[in-house]
A = this chain, B = another copy of it.
Amino acid sequence: MTPAETIEVPARSGKAVKLRAGWSVKLINTLGSQVVDTWAFNANDLAEHMSMEHTRVMLGRLNPRKGDQLFSSRRRPLLKMTEDTSPGVHDTLRAACDPVRYKLLGHENHASCAENLSAALLALGLRAPHSPCPLNMFENCPVGEGGKLVVVPPPVKAGNYVVLTAEVDTVVVFSACPMDIFPTNGPDCKPKPVAYQVLQS
């Protein structure tokens, strides 16, 4: 088997990748501490998307772990989290950052995960009918007293990785989150690149 090519997702940007059923994608947290907003769509019908609200019900748990399937808006498994060398802290609760969020925080013309989703799909000639809630890989947003939600730095080390295996033909989108106002991406508030490899079965 040919060694898998490592493709960088530069800091603040996104990439979309097509996976055939049975293929996997290895998402590498190159420098550690970087959150990666992740979406998945049925490659044959982008209206069917990985859905956090359906996945939570199907798993009976707030967040997916290694071995869990990730379900679509039609309750079908799209992906399976087959490997996870990170501490397994991921978030399903938070919308992707977008231009309105940064504007409300006083920043105009700031890169965002929502724009990265659109741009990454467009680079493959694709467009999603809407912007679903992402699986925020490596994001650390514990549920505190009274349901309080505060994002704190992720406990992810350089080189930690997650492998997602496609259960059906799937388009996966990664966005290296551009958040630099809160410590979403580490105490230095500095967005970093990540990388991925496609592993064909």
Contact = CB atoms under 8 A, between A and B. Distances in A.
Contact of A104 (B52, B63, B75, B95): B75
Q: Sort chain A's interface into a size bin.
A: 20 to 34
Contacts of A54: 95
A116 interface: no
A77 to B, nearest CB: 12
A180 interface: no
A108 B73 CA distance: 19
A137 to B, nearest CB: 15
Contacts of A94: 53, 56-57
Nearest to A133: B53
A123 B129 CA distance: 24
